[in-house]
Amino acid sequence: MIGEVIGRRVDLAAAPLLMTRPRMRAIDFTEPFMKVYASVLINKQASELINGYKDLLNHPHFTYGVQAKGVLRRALKLSNDTDLSRLWKQMLRWQERGLKFIFTKNNERGIKNVRIDESYAFILPSPIADYMQLQMPCNLKSVDKFLINMDYAFAARKNSSLVSKINKSLRKFKKNGYLDRLRKKWWEDRSQCSSARSIKREVLGYNGKSTAVKGHFYLVLLPPLLLLLL
């Protein structure tokens, strides 16, 4: 999407895009609408062992991974924090040994492996981790917020008039609590793992397919975007 904005093929990229300095030099961002950290996604069977990223270092039988391309991998690589540096070096050793799922092609691959492997953890953006722990089959848990402190925003062409219009509405939505209500609607209220909904799904029969991050996750952006552009 960033490339399409830079190439002037689209006016606005309506997706959860991280605000980074290199991107800011090429495009204009709206004001942020969501905070983003790194979280560790684990299988619930491991919840007594892993309560944060530092616990991964204390359990040598655990392996963990991150998306091969992206902000989180770069942040781990460049971190001066002692524990984060240890995590990074261990991941490189595993990669040299040919272990699978250390640097994954996408977040979906890492999430899928967490579901089936109790001794594997995956580092990914906190909004995605928070969302996935609420999806069937309800065997995931998101722990910790660390490594990065960034923001999601919409992206537009340089000097686009759309930015000021969207910012005006975003400020209104923040002030009246609409963005908070929107997140609650698409995360907590639509959880598939509340007791009542879980029972209903068990009665109707769960098809065994994991909820995809793409599509469902991006839906959270559509209602406010439509309102912003009216």
Q: Where are the domains of the chain?
A: 36-149
H or E stretch covering 145: strand 140-156
CB-CB contact of 119 with 44 (8 Å) = no
Q: Quick one: fold of 36-149? A: D-Maltodextrin-Binding Protein; domain 2 (3.40.190)
pTM for the structure as a whole: 0.85
Check pLDDT > 90 for residue 229.
no
**Rounded distance between C-alpha atoms, residue 70 and residue 106, angstroms:** 10
Q: What pLDDT shows up at residue 228?
A: 55
Query: Cis omega (within 30 of 0) on the bond before 60?
Result: no
Q: What pLDDT shows up at residue 16?
A: 80
**Rounded distance between C-alpha atoms, residue 150 and residue 37, angstroms:** 6
Whole-number Cα distances in Å, 101 to 72, 74, 180: 15, 17, 34
Q: What pLDDT shows up at residue 198?
A: 46
pLDDT band (50, 70, 90) for residue 95: very high
The average pLDDT across 173-188 equals 90
Other CB atoms within a 10 A radius of the CB of residue 86 amount to 13
Whole-number Cα distances in Å, 43 to 5, 71, 85, 111: 38, 24, 24, 10
Q: What pLDDT shows up at residue 206?
A: 42
